[in-house]
Structure formats: structure tokens, C-alpha cells
């Protein structure tokens, strides 16, 4: 049986570990850098944070990303350079400026509030310019409804 010990590490010193297994809870209270993969066999709970790279989640299951608590959800920031937002139709059309649109983007549209029409009209993406904008058009040329949009990029 390997020895059990608690290493004493001086504050402000870099420390390198190799092949460390943690049985129980690992709490990191300051910044941490991983230079390779992190494998978690249970679950990971992240209270808050950000990354300057990308996260890849894979479990081999069909529902790799699961929001598993009732009341939980997905929050997507809106604004310049965003992948979601709202746009108001004028004479049944609106061009949405966003550099996030690609030739393969899946753009989801939902009518949020009715403008000059009394019933929701079908809306569709009728044009796009990759890296610049996309156009939403209503079936009614007088429509001034507010339409929400969400861009999903295929992996």
C-alpha cells in the first residue's frame, strides 16, 4: 500500500504532479492550469467561470449535454457578436447583423410578440451572408412582429 501523506507546498511556488488520483472531493480555490486532459468519471459541478478555449463534452451517450435539474436552463448572452437576439420586422422583413452566421448555421426563429398582424405568421431565413448577416422574412409583407433568433453551428 502506497504511503498516505499530505505534501506541504509553499505559497507562490509552481508544483508539478504526475498521475494523481483523487478519491473523494478535489477543491481548487485559486487558478489552476491543466496542460493535458482531465478525465472525470463521476460528475463535474462548476459554480461559475469562463474559458478562453472550447469545451468538448463526450460521454458516448446520445444526450451528452444534459441539463439535469428541473428549473435549470441554458442562458445565451445577447448583443454585438452574439449567437442569439431579437429583431423587429419592418414591412415583413429584417436583416440581422451578426458575424456569427456561417453558410452552415442552423438559425432558429420564434415570434415573440405580434406587431401589425393578429395571428403569428410563418417566418423564414431567406438570405445570409457568412460572417455578416442573415435576413428574416414573414409570410405577411405588413408584419412588424418581434422575432427571436438563435444560431447553432454544426460541430
d(CA 6, CA 98): 52
Give the DSSP letter string of 87-110: EE-BTTEEEEE-TT--TT-EEEEE
Which has more pLDDT, 15 or 85? 85
pLDDT for res 55: 67
Q: What is the mean pLDDT of residues 28-38?
A: 76
The beta strand positions in the chain, using DSSP E, are: 84-88, 93-97, 106-113, 123-129, 133-138, 146-152
Q: What is the mean pLDDT of residues 116-134?
A: 97
Q: What is the mean pLDDT of residues 23-30?
A: 78
Residue-wise pLDDT tens digits, 47-80: 666 666 666 666 666 766 777 778 877 888 898 8
pLDDT beyond 90 at 142: yes
pLDDT for res 2: 61
pLDDT for res 16: 73
**40-44, 114-118, 133-137: lowest mean pLDDT where?**
40-44
Contact partners, residue 153, CB within 8 Å, separation at least 6:
83, 100, 102, 104, 105, 106
Which pTM value belongs to this model? Answer: 0.69
Amino acid at each position: 500500500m502506497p504511503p498516505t501523506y499530505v505534501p506541504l507546498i509553499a505559497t507562490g511556488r509552481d508544483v508539478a504532479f504526475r498521475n494523481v488520483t483523487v478519491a473523494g472531493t478535489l477543491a481548487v480555490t485559486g487558478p489552476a492550469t491543466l496542460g493535458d486532459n482531465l478525465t472525470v468519471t463521476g460528475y463535474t459541478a462548476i459554480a461559475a467561470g469562463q474559458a478562453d478555449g472550447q469545451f468538448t463534452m463526450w460521454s458516448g451517450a446520445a444526450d451528452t449535454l444534459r441539463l439535469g435539474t428541473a428549473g435549470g436552463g441554458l442562458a445565451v448572452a445577447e448583443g454585438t457578436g452574439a449567437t442569439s437576439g431579437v429583431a423587429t420586422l419592418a414591412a415583413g422583413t429584417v436583416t440581422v447583423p451578426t458575424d456569427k452566421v456561417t453558410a452552415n448555421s442552423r438559425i432558429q426563429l420564434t415570434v415573440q410578440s405580434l406587431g401589425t398582424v393578429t395571428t403569428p405568421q410563418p417566418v423564414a431565413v431567406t438570405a445570409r451572408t457568412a460572417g455578416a448577416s442573415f435576413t428574416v422574412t414573414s409570410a405577411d409583407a405588413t408584419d412588424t412582429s418581434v422575432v427571436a433568433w438563435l444560431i447553432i453551428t454544426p460541430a
